[in-house]
């Protein structure tokens, strides 16, 4: 029996999104095939990994992921420059976690100043993230969007509870926008529709179907991403065609596997390697499911994922 490969041609295509300005700008998305299926279509851009930095020192990060940034993480500008210049980051994600009312409760003005300072110091694109407190994010991200005007940044995350103000701010200041819903393809679709109904262009959106760490619900994120990507390609569903984000570091570096010492759990093996592997494998899993933009923390994990991407394309 002669073998004829079953190649698929899809009617839809993922939007390609460019962030940043000038030489530092990067583009992701744009493919008309499933992830790493360039044998049957076009995948012009490779996934982008952004290094996560914070407006406050990462005292809440586990020691093994604090360590690589110990000399620089006291100040967001120094930290940003270190990632860009030493680690050769192609993008940065500044999480304004210090604005959370349960944390330092920094004001929107303080956050805006941090954004301005970081942007002035770097050439690579900036993703600006709130503290995931829907009310506080409304004011913080509005101020941050204004402060970053002209930077072609990514603002996130707009959720059901606060999308109106955040989307309006991103639109007014010409940024891209992350729309996050909680692990449900229909909620994700609905939020994208609501945001575009405000006049926000769908080509400027990035979908975050909510990340989960390896062993802690990764299969849910994995399947929601696969289903979103299939809807975009096979059904040509425009509301499902923005590229997808995997906000990896934040979810990975709080699970037990990245923190429990080998002395307590000898059968789990070396802690440092285990933590890095946990972040890198969560990232690889979501790339295979369809993520085009990743936010990660550990330099070794980032390097290993990049090496794997190079082998996949």
223 near another protein, rule: CB under 8 A: yes
Which of helix, strand or coil describes residue 28?
strand
Cβ-based nearer residue to another protein, 77 or 183: 183
48 CB contacts (<8 Å, ≥6 apart)? 26, 28, 90, 91, 292, 293, 294
230 near another protein, rule: CB under 8 A: yes
276 near another protein, rule: CB under 8 A: yes
Single out the segment in contact with another protein by CB under 8 A; choices: 9-17, 30-38, 104-112, 241-249: 30-38
How far, in Å, are 59, 138, 241, 293 from residue 161 at the CA level?
A: 29, 9, 23, 24
Cβ-based nearer residue to another protein, 67 or 256: 256
Cβ-based nearer residue to another protein, 113 or 254: 254
Applying CB under 8 A, among 30, 146, 227, 238 the residue interacting with another protein is 227
Least CB distance from residue 39 to another protein, whole Å? Answer: 5
How far, in Å, are 1, 6, 174, 239, 256 from residue 152 at the CA level?
A: 55, 41, 6, 22, 37
Distance CA 242, CA 232 (A): 8
274 near another protein, rule: CB under 8 A: yes
How far, in Å, are 52, 146, 188, 297 from residue 80 at the CA level?
A: 9, 20, 31, 12
Asked if residues 92 and 127 have their Cβ atoms less than 8 Å apart, the reply is yes
**Pattern 45-84, another protein, x by CB under 8 A:** ----------------------------------------
Binding site for another protein (CB under 8 A): 1-3, 5-6, 36-39, 102, 212, 214-220, 222-223, 226-227, 230, 254-257, 267-271, 273-274, 276-278, 280-281, 284-285, 288-289, 300, 304-305, 307-308, 311-313
């Amino acid at each position: 029996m002669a073998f004829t490969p079953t190649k698929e041609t899809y009617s839809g295509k993922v939007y390609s999104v460019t962030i940043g300005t000038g030489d530092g700008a990067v583009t992701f998305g744009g493919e008309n095939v499933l992830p790493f299926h360039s044998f049957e279509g076009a995948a012009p851009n490779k996934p982008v990994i952004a290094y996560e930095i914070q407006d406050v020192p990462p005292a809440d990060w586990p020691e093994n992921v604090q360590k690589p940034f110990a000399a620089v993480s006291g100040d967001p500008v120094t930290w940003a420059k270190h990632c860009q210049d030493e680690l050769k980051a192609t993008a940065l994600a500044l999480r304004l976690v210090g604005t959370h009312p349960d944390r330092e409760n920094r004001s929107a003005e303080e956050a805006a100043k941090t954004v301005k300072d970081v942007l002035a110091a770097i050439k690579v694109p900036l993703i600006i993230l709130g503290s995931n407190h829907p009310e506080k994010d409304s004011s913080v991200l509005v101020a941050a969007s204004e402060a970053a005007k002209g930077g072609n940044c990514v603002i996130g995350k707009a959720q059901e509870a606060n999308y109106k103000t955040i989307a309006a701010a991103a639109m007014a200041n010409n940024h891209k926008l992350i729309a996050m819903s909680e692990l449900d393809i229909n909620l994700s679709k609905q939020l994208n529709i609501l945001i575009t109904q405000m006049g926000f262009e769908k080509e400027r959106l990035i979908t975050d179907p909510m990340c989960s760490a390896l062993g802690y619900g990764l299969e849910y994120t994995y399947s929601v991403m696969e289903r979103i990507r299939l809807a975009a390609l096979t059904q040509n569903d425009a509301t499902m065609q923005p590229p997808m984000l995997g906000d990896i570091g934040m979810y990975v570096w709080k699970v037990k596997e990245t923190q429990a010492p080998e002395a307590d759990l000898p059968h789990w093996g070396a802690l440092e390697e285990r933590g890095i592997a946990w972040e890198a494998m969560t990232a690889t899993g979501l790339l295979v499911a369809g993520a085009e933009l990743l936010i990660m923390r550990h330099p070794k994990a980032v390097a290993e994922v990049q090496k794997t991407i190079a082998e996949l394309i």
